[in-house]
Copies of this chain bind each other. A is one copy, B any other.
Amino acid sequence: MAKPEPLPGFENRVLAALPQDEYDRLKNSMQVFQLQRGTILHEPGRPMSRVYFPRTAVASMVTTMEDGSTVEVATVGNEGLVGLPVFLGTDSMSFQVFIQINGDAVALPAPLPRETSSNGGALRPLLARYTQALLSQIAQSGACSMLHPIDQRCARWLLMSHDRVPGDDFSLTQEFLSQMLGVRRATVTTAASILQRAGYIRYRRGHIQIADREGLESASCECYRVIRSEYERLIG
Protein backbone atom coordinates (compact mmCIF):
# COMPACT_ATOMS: atom_id res chain seq x y z
CA MET A 1 0.00 0.00 0.00
CA ALA A 2 1.95 2.96 -1.28
CA LYS A 3 1.79 6.47 0.07
CA PRO A 4 -1.01 8.37 -1.66
CA GLU A 5 0.08 10.52 -4.60
CA PRO A 6 0.20 14.20 -3.69
CA LEU A 7 -2.23 16.35 -5.64
CA PRO A 8 -0.87 19.00 -8.02
CA GLY A 9 0.00 22.02 -5.92
CA PHE A 10 -0.52 19.96 -2.78
CA GLU A 11 -4.19 20.83 -2.83
CA ASN A 12 -6.66 19.68 -0.23
CA ARG A 13 -8.52 16.61 -1.50
CA VAL A 14 -11.98 17.78 -0.56
CA LEU A 15 -11.57 21.08 -2.35
CA ALA A 16 -9.95 19.32 -5.28
CA ALA A 17 -13.02 17.14 -5.68
CA LEU A 18 -15.26 20.15 -6.28
CA PRO A 19 -16.35 20.94 -9.81
CA GLN A 20 -14.44 23.86 -11.28
CA ASP A 21 -17.26 26.41 -11.12
CA GLU A 22 -18.03 25.70 -7.50
CA TYR A 23 -14.37 25.92 -6.62
CA ASP A 24 -14.10 29.23 -8.42
CA ARG A 25 -17.04 30.65 -6.54
CA LEU A 26 -15.37 29.81 -3.24
CA LYS A 27 -11.98 31.04 -4.29
CA ASN A 28 -12.71 34.65 -3.39
CA SER A 29 -13.40 33.73 0.22
CA MET A 30 -10.32 31.55 0.58
CA GLN A 31 -7.36 32.49 2.67
CA VAL A 32 -4.11 30.57 3.04
CA PHE A 33 -2.51 30.08 6.47
CA GLN A 34 0.95 28.92 7.35
CA LEU A 35 0.46 26.87 10.49
CA GLN A 36 3.03 26.00 13.13
CA ARG A 37 3.00 23.01 15.42
CA GLY A 38 0.92 23.82 18.46
CA THR A 39 -1.32 26.38 16.81
CA ILE A 40 -4.83 25.88 18.12
CA LEU A 41 -7.53 25.76 15.48
CA HIS A 42 -10.42 25.13 17.81
CA GLU A 43 -11.12 25.20 21.54
CA PRO A 44 -13.93 22.97 22.85
CA GLY A 45 -17.22 24.84 23.03
CA ARG A 46 -15.93 27.98 21.35
CA PRO A 47 -17.67 29.01 18.13
CA MET A 48 -15.60 28.41 15.03
CA SER A 49 -14.86 31.41 12.92
CA ARG A 50 -13.19 29.50 10.10
CA VAL A 51 -13.19 26.13 8.41
CA TYR A 52 -9.69 24.83 7.63
CA PHE A 53 -8.82 22.60 4.71
CA PRO A 54 -5.25 21.41 5.37
CA ARG A 55 -2.94 21.07 2.40
CA THR A 56 0.45 20.17 3.83
CA ALA A 57 -0.37 20.79 7.48
CA VAL A 58 -1.67 18.01 9.70
CA ALA A 59 -3.97 18.61 12.64
CA SER A 60 -5.01 16.54 15.65
CA MET A 61 -8.34 16.34 17.40
CA VAL A 62 -7.88 15.58 21.08
CA THR A 63 -10.06 15.18 24.14
CA THR A 64 -8.87 16.49 27.45
CA MET A 65 -9.96 14.82 30.65
CA GLU A 66 -10.62 16.61 33.91
CA ASP A 67 -7.27 15.50 35.28
CA GLY A 68 -5.54 17.10 32.31
CA SER A 69 -4.58 13.97 30.43
CA THR A 70 -5.22 14.10 26.71
CA VAL A 71 -5.67 11.58 23.93
CA GLU A 72 -5.86 12.06 20.24
CA VAL A 73 -9.15 10.98 18.74
CA ALA A 74 -8.40 11.72 15.10
CA THR A 75 -5.86 13.05 12.65
CA VAL A 76 -6.92 15.48 9.94
CA GLY A 77 -4.80 16.28 6.93
CA ASN A 78 -5.23 17.08 3.27
CA GLU A 79 -7.94 14.40 2.97
CA GLY A 80 -10.35 16.33 5.16
CA LEU A 81 -11.13 19.49 7.04
CA VAL A 82 -11.43 21.00 10.47
CA GLY A 83 -14.86 22.45 11.09
CA LEU A 84 -17.43 19.80 10.33
CA PRO A 85 -19.83 21.21 12.95
CA VAL A 86 -20.36 24.20 10.69
CA PHE A 87 -21.99 21.81 8.24
CA LEU A 88 -23.70 19.71 10.88
CA GLY A 89 -25.71 22.53 12.33
CA THR A 90 -23.70 23.85 15.26
CA ASP A 91 -20.64 26.01 15.44
CA SER A 92 -18.47 24.14 17.90
CA MET A 93 -17.48 20.73 19.09
CA SER A 94 -16.20 19.18 22.26
CA PHE A 95 -12.61 18.56 21.15
CA GLN A 96 -9.58 20.67 20.87
CA VAL A 97 -7.94 20.81 17.47
CA PHE A 98 -4.37 21.92 16.96
CA ILE A 99 -1.56 21.65 14.47
CA GLN A 100 0.56 18.58 14.75
CA ILE A 101 2.82 18.98 11.76
CA ASN A 102 3.81 22.33 10.23
CA GLY A 103 2.33 23.20 6.90
CA ASP A 104 -0.35 25.28 5.26
CA ALA A 105 -4.12 25.16 5.03
CA VAL A 106 -6.84 26.92 3.13
CA ALA A 107 -9.52 28.55 5.26
CA LEU A 108 -13.05 29.64 4.57
CA PRO A 109 -15.05 31.97 6.83
CA ALA A 110 -17.31 30.03 9.17
CA PRO A 111 -20.78 31.08 8.19
CA LEU A 112 -20.13 29.82 4.69
CA PRO A 113 -21.43 31.53 1.59
CA ARG A 114 -25.08 30.40 1.51
CA GLU A 115 -24.99 28.87 -1.94
CA THR A 116 -22.27 26.50 -0.80
CA SER A 117 -23.75 25.12 2.33
CA SER A 118 -27.22 24.66 0.95
CA ASN A 119 -28.28 21.71 -1.13
CA GLY A 120 -27.62 21.29 -4.79
CA GLY A 121 -23.90 21.96 -4.56
CA ALA A 122 -21.24 19.30 -4.71
CA LEU A 123 -19.69 20.27 -1.40
CA ARG A 124 -22.37 18.99 0.91
CA PRO A 125 -22.47 15.34 -0.24
CA LEU A 126 -18.67 15.35 -0.17
CA LEU A 127 -18.69 16.53 3.41
CA ALA A 128 -21.29 13.97 4.36
CA ARG A 129 -19.09 11.18 3.12
CA TYR A 130 -16.06 12.66 4.83
CA THR A 131 -18.06 12.75 8.04
CA GLN A 132 -18.66 9.06 7.77
CA ALA A 133 -15.01 8.38 7.05
CA LEU A 134 -13.97 10.43 10.07
CA LEU A 135 -16.46 8.57 12.19
CA SER A 136 -14.95 5.27 11.08
CA GLN A 137 -11.48 6.52 11.77
CA ILE A 138 -12.37 7.57 15.29
CA ALA A 139 -14.11 4.32 16.03
CA GLN A 140 -11.37 2.15 14.62
CA SER A 141 -8.59 3.93 16.45
CA GLY A 142 -10.55 3.77 19.67
CA ALA A 143 -10.89 0.03 19.30
CA CYS A 144 -7.25 -0.17 18.25
CA SER A 145 -5.95 1.43 21.40
CA MET A 146 -7.92 -1.03 23.47
CA LEU A 147 -6.74 -4.13 21.67
CA HIS A 148 -3.36 -3.57 20.06
CA PRO A 149 0.09 -3.17 21.59
CA ILE A 150 1.80 0.16 21.55
CA ASP A 151 4.41 -0.52 18.89
CA GLN A 152 1.76 -1.47 16.35
CA ARG A 153 -0.24 1.63 17.19
CA CYS A 154 2.90 3.69 16.93
CA ALA A 155 3.55 2.35 13.44
CA ARG A 156 -0.03 3.07 12.48
CA TRP A 157 0.22 6.63 13.69
CA LEU A 158 3.42 7.24 11.74
CA LEU A 159 1.89 5.82 8.58
CA MET A 160 -1.17 7.99 8.87
CA SER A 161 0.98 11.08 9.25
CA HIS A 162 3.23 10.00 6.42
CA ASP A 163 0.19 9.78 4.14
CA ARG A 164 -0.73 13.36 4.87
CA VAL A 165 2.65 14.99 4.50
CA PRO A 166 4.61 15.92 1.37
CA GLY A 167 7.93 14.12 1.83
CA ASP A 168 9.25 11.17 3.79
CA ASP A 169 10.19 13.06 6.90
CA PHE A 170 8.68 15.50 9.32
CA SER A 171 9.41 16.95 12.71
CA LEU A 172 8.09 15.09 15.69
CA THR A 173 9.29 14.55 19.25
CA GLN A 174 8.66 11.41 21.23
CA GLU A 175 7.14 13.54 23.95
CA PHE A 176 4.54 14.79 21.50
CA LEU A 177 3.91 11.35 20.06
CA SER A 178 3.38 9.97 23.54
CA GLN A 179 0.59 12.48 24.13
CA MET A 180 -1.03 11.52 20.85
CA LEU A 181 -0.94 7.84 21.68
CA GLY A 182 -1.92 8.40 25.28
CA VAL A 183 1.11 6.64 26.75
CA ARG A 184 4.29 7.60 28.61
CA ARG A 185 7.13 9.15 26.75
CA ALA A 186 9.36 6.28 27.86
CA THR A 187 6.96 3.80 26.30
CA VAL A 188 7.25 5.59 22.98
CA THR A 189 11.03 5.46 23.21
CA THR A 190 10.93 1.69 23.43
CA ALA A 191 8.41 1.33 20.63
CA ALA A 192 10.33 3.71 18.39
CA SER A 193 13.61 1.94 19.10
CA ILE A 194 12.11 -1.31 17.89
CA LEU A 195 11.00 0.32 14.66
CA GLN A 196 14.34 2.04 14.25
CA ARG A 197 16.37 -1.11 14.88
CA ALA A 198 14.23 -2.88 12.28
CA GLY A 199 15.24 -0.13 9.84
CA TYR A 200 11.71 1.11 9.23
CA ILE A 201 12.30 4.58 10.55
CA ARG A 202 15.17 6.89 11.43
CA TYR A 203 14.95 9.73 13.88
CA ARG A 204 17.06 12.23 15.68
CA ARG A 205 16.06 14.97 18.07
CA GLY A 206 12.58 15.90 17.07
CA HIS A 207 12.81 14.78 13.50
CA ILE A 208 11.66 11.52 11.99
CA GLN A 209 12.14 9.88 8.64
CA ILE A 210 10.15 7.02 7.17
CA ALA A 211 12.88 4.79 5.79
CA ASP A 212 11.01 1.64 4.87
CA ARG A 213 7.32 2.21 4.40
CA GLU A 214 6.50 -1.35 3.55
CA GLY A 215 8.26 -2.56 6.63
CA LEU A 216 6.42 -0.05 8.73
CA GLU A 217 3.15 -1.30 7.33
CA SER A 218 4.06 -4.82 8.29
CA ALA A 219 4.78 -3.61 11.82
CA SER A 220 1.43 -1.86 12.07
CA CYS A 221 -1.84 -3.49 13.00
CA GLU A 222 -4.67 -4.04 10.58
CA CYS A 223 -6.26 -0.78 11.71
CA TYR A 224 -4.15 1.29 9.36
CA ARG A 225 -5.45 -0.62 6.38
CA VAL A 226 -9.02 -0.62 7.64
CA ILE A 227 -9.09 3.13 8.13
CA ARG A 228 -7.38 3.86 4.87
CA SER A 229 -9.62 1.66 2.81
CA GLU A 230 -12.67 3.23 4.39
CA TYR A 231 -11.36 6.62 3.31
CA GLU A 232 -10.79 5.31 -0.17
CA ARG A 233 -14.26 3.84 -0.37
CA LEU A 234 -15.89 7.06 0.77
CA ILE A 235 -13.83 9.87 -0.66
CA GLY A 236 -11.19 8.20 -2.82
- In the complex, the answer to whether B74 meets A139 with C-beta atoms within 8 Å is yes
- In the complex, the answer to whether B142 meets A88 with C-beta atoms within 8 Å is no
**Chain A contacts with B in 140-179, Cβ cutoff 8 A:** 140-143, 145-147
The interface bits of chain A over 189-228 (1 if a CB of B lies within 8 angstroms of the residue's CB, else 0) are 0000000000000000000000000000000001000100
Interface size class of A (residues with CB under 8 A): 35 or more
CA A93 – CA B136 in complex, angstroms?
A: 8
CA A103 – CA B61 in complex, angstroms?
A: 36
Contacts of A90 on B, CB cut-off 8 Å?
129, 132, 233-234
Q: Does A63 have its Cβ within 8 Å of any Cβ on chain B?
A: yes
Contacts of A10 on B, CB cut-off 8 Å?
none
Q: Which residue of B lies closest to A74 (CB)?
A: B139
Q: Does A89 have its Cβ within 8 Å of any Cβ on chain B?
A: yes
CA A140 – CA B135 in complex, angstroms?
A: 12
Contacts of A63 on B, CB cut-off 8 Å?
139-140, 143
